[in-house]
Chain A
Amino acid sequence: MTPGSYVVEVIVENKPLARDPEGETIHQNLILKGGYKQVTGVRAGKLLRMNVEADSPEDAHAIVRKLSDDLRIYNPAAHTIQIRIVG
């Protein structure tokens, strides 16, 4: 892969065991009430989209992984993160 600018998304959400009242409310009071019974669960989270200069997508991923841990972009006591290259 070539060096360049990558778009990296970080999704922070509560761990499965930590209740997510926002997701629950969206599910119960909006989606189910609106008749979409096919939707069996909703989790709300936070999305950070970062533009990263890196040598490769793997490098961009590693940089974002490191900064997420170092700077506590999430609190591992209560959250999980997903990191993905989107562009």
Chain B
Amino acid sequence: MVKVALIQYPGSNCDLDALEILRDVVKARTDLVWHKDLANDAYDAYVLPGGFSYGDYLRAGAIAATSPSLRIVKEAADSGKPVLGICNGFQILVEAGLLPGAVLRNSTLRFACTWTRLRVETTRTPFTNKAQKGQVLEIPIAHNEGRYYLDKERIPELERSQQIVFRYVNEEKEPTEEANPNGSIDNIAGICNQKGNVMGLMPHPERASLPLLSPDNQTDGRIIFDSMMRMLRGSET
């Protein structure tokens, strides 16, 4: 049976939400692992949850990125295993160099906590294989530092290599300035590495995976976890 590690850092605070979805909703055998206790690559997938690791000191994710657990995660990523970073988890993956770019303070200078619409830009990742390209998922954000940044001239390269996974869009599925909650370059909400097996996103799919938690009872966030499970169960047989 596949085993997922959900890595807990000092200051993680969305770990239990993600645990509930992984264990009880998509039925993945999941261990909540303290980052210092992750001794070797003994899992099939790794999830880095949201929160405020090390108080966001220096920069969000910068200190957690030096945790030895990231060496294990990198090893797993290099061997093709799925690695998912949600919110602070995304920031950690960027700071650890597993994903390109930087995640800066919101252009509004305010903490943004709201529902967003995400357009699926690629279905090639283990986290979007159950979605349709162009499909819009409604998933909330909650962050102060979520402005994805990469030098403008590198965006076409990211696009060409299908590393842009989600963009913030409006009701007409257009990535407009109004639909961009934090000033991310090109409305980017989530990206993956070149291979596609490491993905980070600022929105919180675990907060949109139970009808009870969504304004209109939708469970769009589940697609991300269900996709991962499909990939993992597929590789099991």
Contacts and interface: CB of A to CB of B under 8 A. Distances in A.
Interface stretch (A11-19, A30-38, A56-64): A11-19
Nearest to B66: A71
Contact of A22 (B66, B102, B105, B152): B105
A21 B107 CA distance: 6
Given A19-B183, A21-B183, A77 B105 contact: no
Given A17-B151, A21-B108, A78 B58 contact: no
Q: Interface residue tally of chain A, by bracket?
A: 10 to 19
A47 to B, nearest CB: 12
B100 interface: yes
Interface string A1-42: 000000000000011011101100100000000000000000
Contact of A79 (B102, B150, B151): B102
Interface in A62-87: 71-73, 75, 77-79
Interface in B47-64: 58-59, 62
Contacts of A75: 59, 62, 94-95, 102
A21 B105 contact: yes
Interface string B150-191: 111000000000000000000000000000000100000000
A72 B66 CA distance: 9
Interface string B219-233: 000000000000000
B43 interface: no
Contacts of B109: 21-22, 25
B151 A73 contact: no
Nearest to B185: A18
Contacts of A77: 94, 100-102, 149-151
Contacts of A17: 151-152
B22 interface: no
Given A77-B149, A79-B102, 7 more contacts: A14-B104, A15-B151, A19-B183, A21-B183, A75-B94, A75-B102, A77-B101
Top 8 closest pairs, chain A to chain B, by CB: A78-B102, A77-B102, A75-B102, A21-B107, A78-B149, A77-B101, A21-B109, A18-B149
Interface of A: 14-15, 17-19, 21-22, 25, 46, 71-73, 75, 77-79
29 contacts: A14-B104, A15-B151, A18-B149, A19-B183, A21-B105, A21-B107, A21-B108, A21-B109, A21-B183, A25-B109, A46-B58, A71-B66, A72-B62, A72-B65, A72-B66, A72-B95, A73-B58, A75-B59, A75-B62, A75-B95, A77-B100, A77-B102, A77-B149, A77-B150, A77-B151, A78-B101, A78-B102, A78-B104, A78-B149
